Structure 1
Amino acid sequence: MLAFSPVHDAAAAAGSVVGWLVGLLTPLAGGAATAAAIVLFTIAVRLLISPLTVAQVRAERRRAALAPQLRQLQQRYADDPATLQSEVFALYRRAGASPVAGCLPALLQAPFFLVMYRLFGTGDGAVGLLDARLAGVPLGWHLGDGLTLSVLLVFGVLLAALAGLATVLSRRARRTASAAAPTDQPGAALLARVLPLLPYGTVLLAVVVPLAAVLYLVTTTGWTVAEHVLLRRPQPVPAEAIDER
């Protein structure tokens, strides 16, 4: 059934692009051309969907700017949930924001990541993708396949890089969670503990997927770190806010 699904068709199209990149890079990269094509294709896809990420960050900033007013409404209408809900939506409407705006770009990105995993995790749609090698290790091999020095070295370097990137994301998530909501709100303390752990799920996934998928995970996580640094850097405080203080 999945062989005739839109995901399969999209993976086949993506596989054709990767194959074209392999042919383009072979004179320069030699035997590592397929690995280089995976990295370049991942970067190209992340660049393609970057407007969705920008929209998500803008929505997050709008909601963050409304946080003080939201807290005031929660205190004022703590005993009147119906009025609180209507006032919250009215606040978002006046500000031109939406309580779910930040979720929509993330949901729209999901199909892209599903196709990428289908391509690099199973080789679906790309002939010979997982048969190519990186430093002598087939891209279709898992960490437990043939525990030779080259396998341990290649996977070890990539997993170490992925763990380092996950640590950066974890620290940034911890700071964001601590600043996003007061700890007296229901679930805020749990959220502050869970969010910093989520990036390490990528490391656990990398342990059980083929080498091609590990390359994809390292590249896309590195791109995510770059987006966090560039798009979620602290914003300058407006002069009006300084005067009010």
Structure 2
Amino acid sequence: MNDQLGYFGTNMPLKIYGLSEKSVTITFGAAIDNDLLRLITDFNQLLLQNPFSGFITTVPAYTTLTVFFDPLSVMLSDLPGEVCFEKVSTHLNKIAQIKREKSKVMANKLVIPVCYGGNFGQDLSIVAHTNNLTETEVIDIHTAGEYTVFMIGFVPGFAYMGGMDTRISTPRKEVPDAKIPAGSVGIAGNQTGIYPMETPGGWQIIGKTPLKIFEVNRSQPSLLKGGDLLTFKSIGIDEFNAYAEI
């Protein structure tokens, strides 16, 4: 259990530092784990329910929550403090003193179909060779796990997930590919992820999902969000094409 879970309902000050003139970052801990994820998610939800004048948005990460705001609106607000940092920090610490009830929000559970290997997963053989496994064993291990979405970045909709079996851990490519197709499923170190759009990248690509991970015209453009739980299901090319036609 992370020590910083004591923030809620206590007078323990948050660890806040200024990121820019328009943002501050709260550091909740150092270890990447599910307890810390729940803490950041719960605090983020409290802040969204209790915004301050000038609040714009938040960006959750593995161990931090960054808060963006409009400096002019903050300075014109009645929040105590002489500068934006003091005013915003005061509000954030006030939020932290709200006693946290046990979270009633259930994590979304999704099953992501993936066509592994071949033209869709050109690096599957590398992952297998690196770990002294067969390609089938890599697929079996990858589909056996349950993965937690810890954060979204480096492009809209890209989910960084924890929970991958270390038996298929594989380093990033020394030379990134110029183009990774949208929907590609990759491995980098102890993480797995899905490319939501075509972009350069250095992850080892083991397969592809026919699902649209990011669609700007959807009410929620990103299919995945922090806290979601994922499992992967291996499908054949015919099933992949059937999904793609939907």
TM over 0.5: no
TM-score normalised over the length of structure 2: 0.24
TM-score normalised over the length of structure 1: 0.24
* Greater relative contact order (CA < 8 Å, ≥ 6 in sequence): 1
The structure carrying a bigger helix percent of its residues is 1
The structure carrying a bigger strand percent of its residues is 2
